[in-house]
Structure 1
Amino acid sequence: MPKESYYRLINKQLSAVLGDETNLIANLSNSAALLFESLPDINWAGFYLYEKTSDELVLGPFQGKVACIRIKIGAGVCGTAFKNNTTLIVKDVSKFKGHIACDAASKSEIVIPIVINGEKIGVLDIDAPITNRFDKTDQHYLELFAKILQKNS
């Protein structure tokens, strides 16, 4: 199945799963599960949420192996994407200066900032056990995925 096709299906499923639910944790939990079960060649999908009191990203709902709990803003791929409010695609995490290796099996990563009502609340983080897993097509459809999630939360 072409990548665009499965992403269109995933985004349609997300809209159906979220329905009228507005609880952020419930929506993030189902979103992580949907991505983890639907995307080929990934080993982690989840969210890090911004905690104002500590000025850090804190582990949120996810699917995959045990993960790092706290990430400083500007640190690693997640902290950098959050700080710069931009999607980051890292084709080979071993070449990303300051990469935080929560799972040694992860070889590539994509991180998308999550903004609700104009406020950055965290990031969507997806890891893969192969290099060069993510490209501009993944970015496009995962940013749409984030917009669907943001609209419902």
Structure 2
Amino acid sequence: MMFEPLKPHIETIVSNPNNSVNKRLLAICKLLEASIPHYNWVGFYFRNGKKEELILGPYVGAPTDHTIIPFGKGICGQVAISNKNFVVPDVTTQDNYIACSITVKAEIVIPIFVNGKNIGQIDIDSNTPDPFTEADERFLEFVCTKVASIL
């Protein structure tokens, strides 16, 4: 399984107090994008204070115009409301999808909870159709739990 060997790397990144939170989040993005072939854009979105919107945090991949996403808009905005994982095998089937790139075929978004509150999420786009499995979900839940410990 490609995910198990990455877990100690995630733990090492998260537990490094010499780096800022944003540097650690960026290091996670870089590790995931470089290590998992079907992860073509990896980034974090966080609730923007008390506003009903998400603001883009550290990410790797193609630049995006979607630096602020209102709650309810797109896959990320829907996860901000539902508090549930959202796996999209084919983005063309989603009416409420916000296209970042014409190369993106699939997306997975996993919420990050701190003290029971959804404070953000990890967002991954793939240029491969239907690449995400339950193993991706479980691994990304692990990543989000580790990230939550430093927020």
Same-fold call, TM > 0.5? yes
Aligned to 1:6: 2
Aligned to 2:12: 16
After alignment, is 52-61 or 79-88 more displaced? 52-61
Percent of residue pairs identical:
31
Aligned to 1:108: 106
CA contact (8 A) 1:87 1:110 kept: yes
> Aligned partner of 1:104: which letter?
I
Q: Which of these residues, 36, 39, 44, is aligned with residue 42 of structure 1?
A: 39
Task: State the Cα RMSD in Å.
Answer: 1.5
Instruction: Flag structure 1 segments of 5+ consecutive residues without an equivalent.
Output: none
State TM-score, norm by structure 2: 0.91
Q: How does 1:127-138 map to 2 (within 5 A)?
A: 127-138=125-136
1:6 match: secondary structure: coil
2:101 match: secondary structure: coil
Aligned to 1:77: 75
> Aligned partner of 1:105: which letter?
T
| Runs of at least 4 residues off by over 3 Å | none
Aligned to 2:26: 29
CA contact (8 A) 1:41 1:130 kept: yes
How many residues are aligned here? 149
CA contact (8 A) 1:44 1:127 kept: yes
Higher helix share: 1
Cα distance, 1:47 vs structure 2: 0.6
Q: Which of these residues, 117, 120, 131, is aligned with residue 119 of structure 1?
A: 117
Instruction: Flag structure 2 segments of 5+ consecutive residues without an equivalent.
Output: none
Per-residue CA deviations over 1:120-151 (Å, capped at 9, x if unaligned) read 22110000001101111111111111112212
Paired with 2:80 and 2:12, the residues of 1 have a C-alpha distance of: 28
After alignment, is 15-24 or 91-100 more displaced? 15-24
State the structure with bigger RCO (CA 8 A, min sep 6), 1 or 2.
Answer: 1
State TM-score, norm by structure 1: 0.90
CA contact (8 A) 1:20 1:152 kept: no
